[in-house]
Amino acid sequence: MCGIVGYIGNKKAYPILIKGLSRLEYRGYDSAGIALLQANDIVNVFKKEGKVIDLTEFIGNANTEGTVGIGHTRWATHGEPNNVNAHPHTSGDGTLTLVHNGIIENYDVLKKELIKRGHTFKSETDTEVLVHLIEEIKKNSGVSLVEAIRIALNEVHGAYAIVVISAEEPNKIIAAKKSSPLVIGMGEDEYYLASDATPIIEYTKNVVYLEDEQIAIIDRNNGLRIISISNTEVSPYVQELEMQLEELEKGGFEHFMLKEIYEQPRAIHDSFRGRLNAKEGWVSLGGIKAYEDKIAKANRIIIIACGTSWHAGLVAEYYFEDLARIPVEVEYASEFRYRNPIIHKDDVVIAISQSGETADTLAALEMAKAQGAILLGIVNVVGSTISRVTDAGSYTHAGPEIGVASTKAFTTQLTVLAMMALAIGKKRGTITDEKFQLLLDEMEALPAKIEQLLKNADYIETVSAKYKDAQNALYLGRGSSFPIALEGALKLKEISYIHAEGYPAAEMKHGPIALIDENMPVFVIATHGDNYEKLVSNIQEVKARKGKIIAIVTEGDTNVKELADYVIEIPDAHEFVVPILATIPLQLISYYIAVMRGCNVDQPRNLAKSVTVE
């Protein structure tokens, strides 16, 4: 959540900061601001409630000179969204300016103490408390700015990624992190800072990811130095970014979400490329190879995730229990971390996260690690925190996902989880050779089948138009398609703001059936499989109560077509891959309805792409 950018070098900082903030808009925010270190060691701060475009209009023709600067997009936690609470924040004497992602949990205690010492605060934020604390330590202790920051960070509790500039040290930028991501890009005699790599890739591919409780001192003349908050030197580890700049552009599509829906054939192919070969009859995930024996002998698998990734975990429960015959529990990370869960050393904990930075999932991992479990990560962002704290794992290779509502990240998570279940099932001998080969063939055919499905987008748009004014919607599925009903409902809620609920179709009679009338659209995943006849019965129950039925069916189906108001066909496929295929039309329905309702599809209100605070 929130976004940080920073620059120090020989170029004009302002355009780099503004472009960087624009690249970070997908993270979700409600205000934006920048600070520029200018001539005569003056720091000029501009900040504005609203979008980055509102900030640039506010700045207008003001002086934006300077080759050192920091910027921020804020998602409100402490204090409402307004100009005063927007970042950057300055110290009482005006010499220090700071941007911050995260939450300082003990800010109230610190603030009361600082007020006693004569500090006056302008905002309601925890961030302003931190910059005043650094100022207080620097003045009273007579230490350097770096040392004051180090001491301050030892006094605060919570999560932070901070970047600080000082009017008294115009050739430096100082940054630090704990439980909130921060990356440093290294150019020719210049440095870029950001919450993730998207603002940096345009300028350099060489980056350093700060680890928790590390402080980076970037000096225009002396380069990069890293220390820990316990004051030990750390050698920077430089990595090369894999993403391409064109992946961050819309490529002719109206919205990033639509582009990312259409990228799914390529993304899924990239997810299994080099990992699965149906012709040769094998599947192998290099990231977990060294742990396959331990996974195969696991007492149980615990999957922890949030939001859409949790839905991927629910599908994975069917995959692992069916193919590998290992018991699976799927947990909301936000609940799991605050329970007193029973975790054994022979348990495998799988964390699923697009960003690899989800705060609740990271906290749940730390809990599981302390109890000796094997930790695996399924993430999209290379170098992310979850990928570094887990024992092993697999990247999804979806490429950057800019739209807040997850699309290709979800289907590639399902792809990787399916391959993992196949590999472990094969290892355990719990899947026949015939079924193993059949499912390899089905996986390999997925990209072509999704391409075929996307050719029906115009028809799906026509169907969507019928329900753009709905107030509520119900999504039904059975078996491994039940989590897809949950995901379809979540997508509609996220971007169109229509209330929607996903349910197991058989549970409809236990409450939701009371809601059904002639105004209620009911989306049903009714593809061929073991539950098909039961689903037809559920559809008849809806029809008897005048509900409007939109059914996702297997190509050529005639039974459901007679009952439903509209049917959307997906290519004939094994039940194993239906969750992936059935997701595509539900994504398109949500997208088209949201566009027709005039919603901000890529940046829905109140939401952030990466939830890095509680």
Q: Residue 447 and residue 226: Cα distance in Å, rounded?
A: 44
Closest CA to 420 of 296, 591, 557, 245: 296
Distance of alpha carbon 611 from alpha carbon 614, whole angstroms:
8
Q: Which residues contact 100 (CB under 8 A, 6 or more apart)?
A: 72, 87, 89, 126, 127, 130, 160, 161, 162
Rounded to 5°, angle at Cα 466 from 462 and 471: 140
Which of 452-491 are b and which e, b meaning 16 or more Cβ less than 10 Å from the residue's Cβ?
Answer: ebbebbeebbebbeebeebeebbbbbbbbbbbbbbbbbbb
Catalytic residue among 172, 178, 493, 609: 609
CA-CA distance, 68 to 221, in Å (whole number)?
13
Question: What are the DSSP calls for 349-417, one per residue?
Answer: EEEEESSS--HHHHHHHHHHHHTT-EEEEEESSTT-HHHHHSSEEEE-------SSS-SHHHHHHHHHH
Number of Cβ atoms within 10 Å of the Cβ of 113 = 13
47 is catalytic: no
Q: Please pick, among 2, 48, 408, 493, the residue that the annotation labels catalytic.
A: 2
**Measured between alpha carbons, how far is 342 from 593 in angstroms, rounded to an integer?**
43
Give, in order, the Cα–Cα distances in Å from 151 to each of 94, 126, 130, 214, 260: 20, 17, 11, 12, 44
Total residue count of the chain as it appears in this document? 614
Burial class (CB in 10 A: 0-12, 13-18, 19+), 301: buried
Structure tokens at 113: 């103490």
Helices (H), 545-577: 559-563
For the chain, how are helix, strand and coil distributed in percent, rounded to 5? 40, 25, 35
Active site residue 138: no
Q: Report, as residue numbers or ranges, the catalytic residues.
A: 2, 609
